[in-house]
Amino acid sequence: MNIERLKEIREDRDLKQIDIAKFLKVTQAQYCRYEMGVNIIPLEKIDKLAEFYNTSVDYLIGRTNERKPYPKK
């Protein structure tokens, strides 16, 4: 997981950790541990984040630098 990317994309949208935590239905402390790389983010949460940020899971995990999401089938 590219933890720097999680923080960067959140800050690009002027969001706070608590905003994303509420969206993911976790505590702010839990989300903070995701961003710090202490806890692994469950796949369903990564998928929700990709949809929320309108990007791909591959972008969030650092497999690509292309922010644009993949076309839907």
- Domain 3-60: give its CATH superfamily: lambda repressor-like DNA-binding domains (1.10.260.40)
The closest alpha carbon to 11, from 68, 3, 63, belongs to 3
Q: Report the pLDDT value the prediction gives residue 48, as an integer from 0 to 100.
A: 97
CB 33 within 8 A of CB 7: no
This prediction's pTM: 0.88
**Tokens 């969206």 identify what position?**
23
Q: How far is CA 71 from the centre of its chain?
A: 19
pLDDT along the chain (73 residues), means of 10: 89 97 98 95 96 94 89 76
